[in-house]
Amino acid sequence: HRIKTRRGHKKAIIAVCKMLLTAIWNILNKLEPYTPEGFLEHRPVNESKVLTKAQALELLRKRGYTITDESPVIV
């Protein structure tokens, strides 16, 4: 999805195919079982990023959440 957003659908498909072929080649060449450690590197989280209320609400709407202004009643 990251490659697709930056470079397009066709290039993303080719990039994924290349990753799969590289993994298959290494598995067959080294005769070892597959481990995803080299391919699935964790990206550091940018904790300095701050969203405004409007940006946060828009992000939630894009992800399928329904936003209402009703607050829970505390008795």
pLDDT for the residue 13 = 94
Backbone CA torsion sign across 39, 10, 24, 22? negative
- CA-CA distance, 72 to 38, in Å (whole number)? 47
From CA 65, how far away is CA 56, in angstroms rounded?
A: 11
- pTM summary value: 0.44
Average pLDDT score over the chain: 82
**Residues of the chain above pLDDT 70, percent:** 83
In our burial notation (b when 16+ CB lie closer than 10 A, e otherwise), range 7-22 reads eeeeebeeeeeeeeee
Q: Which pLDDT belongs to residue 17? A: 94
Residue 41 has pLDDT above 90, yes or no: no
Segment holding 13, helix H or strand E: helix 9-30
Residue 46 has pLDDT above 80, yes or no: no
